[in-house]
Amino acid sequence: MGLADGITEEIMAKTKTIYSCTECGGQTPKWQGQCPHCMGWNTLIESVAEVAAPKSANRFSALAAVGKVQLLSDVEAAEVPRTPTGISEFDRVLGGGLVAGAVVLIGGDPGIGKSTLLLQVLAHLSQQQSTLYVSGEESAQQIALRAKRLSLDARALRLLPEIQLEKIQATIAQERPEVVVIDSIQTVYSEQLTSAPGSVAQVRECAAQLTRIAKSQNITIILVGHVTKEGALAGPRVLEHIVDTVLYFEGDTHSSFRLIRAFKNRFGAVNELGVFAMTERGLREVSNPSALFLSQHGQQVAGSCVMVTQEGTRPLLVEIQALLDEAHSPNVRRLSLGLEQNRLAMLLAVLHRHAGIACFDQDVFINAVGGVKITEPGADLAVILAIVSSLRNQPLPEKLVVFGEIGLAGEIRPVQRGQERLREAAKLGFTHAIIPKANAPKHPIAGMEVIAVERVEEAVARMR
Crossing angle of helices 380-392 and 341-355, in 10° steps, is 60
Q: Report pLDDT digits (tens) over 184-243.
A: 899 999 998 888 888 888 998 999 999 999 999 999 999 999 887 777 777 777 889 999
pLDDT of the residue at 65: 63
Q: Is the pLDDT of residue 462 over 70?
A: yes
pLDDT, position 406: 96
Predicted local distance difference test score (pLDDT) of residue 298: 65
In the predicted model, is pLDDT for residue 438 greater than 90? yes
Query: Is the pLDDT confidence value at 60 over 50?
Result: no
CB atoms within 10 A of CB 76: 4
Buried b (16+ CB within 10 A) or exposed e, 210-246: bbebbeebebbbbbbbbbeeeeebbbbeebbebbbbb
Q: What ranges do the domains of the chain cover?
A: 7-50, 88-287, 293-461
Report whether pLDDT(13) > 50: no
Supply the Cα-derived Rg of the chain in whole angstroms. 28
Which listed CATH number (3.40.50.300, 3.90.850.10, 1.25.40.10, 1.10.10.60) goes with 88-287? 3.40.50.300
Mean model confidence pLDDT for the chain = 87
For residues 391 and 322, what is the distance between their CA atoms, to the nearest angstrom? 9
Q: Residue 369: is its pLDDT beyond 70? A: yes
- Quick one: CATH architecture of 293-461? 2-Layer Sandwich (3.30)
Question: When comparing pLDDT for 26 and 75, which is higher?
Answer: 75
pLDDT in tens, 312-340: 778 889 999 999 999 988 899 999 998 99
Span of 49-63, 92-106, 401-415 with lowest mean pLDDT: 49-63
Mean pLDDT within 364-384? 91
The per-residue pLDDT for 402 is: 96
Q: How confident is the model at residue 463 (pLDDT cuts 50, 70, 90)?
A: confident
Indicate the helix (H) or strand (E) that contains 170: helix 165-175
Confidence of residue 114 (pLDDT cuts 50, 70, 90): very high
Mean pLDDT of 54-60: 50
Q: What is the pLDDT of residues 70-102, one digit of tens each?
A: 899 888 888 888 999 999 999 999 999 999 999
Q: Which residues pair with 400 in a beta bridge?
A: 432
The reported pLDDT for the residue numbered 64 is: 53
Query: Looking at the predicted structure, is the pLDDT value of residue 305 above 50?
Result: yes
Region 100-109: mean pLDDT is 94
CA–CA dist 435, 448 (Å, integer): 12
429: left (phi over 0), alpha (psi -120 to 50) or beta: left
Q: What is the pTM of this model?
A: 0.75
Write down the pLDDT at residue 215. Answer: 95
Q: For residue 1, what pLDDT band results from cuts at 50, 70 and 90?
A: very low
Return the minimum-mean-pLDDT range out of 38-52, 266-280, 426-440: 38-52
- pLDDT at residue 54 in the model: 53
CA 192 – CA 198 distance, rounded (Å): 14
Alpha-carbon dihedral angle through residues 405, 411, 413, 419, given to the nearest 10 degrees: 90
175 has a pLDDT exceeding 60: yes
Residue 348 has pLDDT above 50, yes or no: yes
pLDDT tops 50 at residue 4: no
Which whole number is the average pLDDT over 172-195? 93
- pLDDT for the residue 10: 46
User: What is the per-residue pLDDT for 207?
Assistant: 94
Amino acid at 124: H
Contacts of 278 (CB under 8 A, 6+ apart): 113, 116, 256, 257, 258, 284
- The whole-angstrom separation of Cα 20 and Cα 43 is 8
The pLDDT assigned to 430 comes to: 92
What is the structure's pLDDT at 7?
42
**DSSP H/E element including 306:** strand 304-311
pLDDT of residue 122 exceeding 50, the answer is: yes
Strand arrangement, sheet containing 27-28: 27-28, 17-21, 44-48
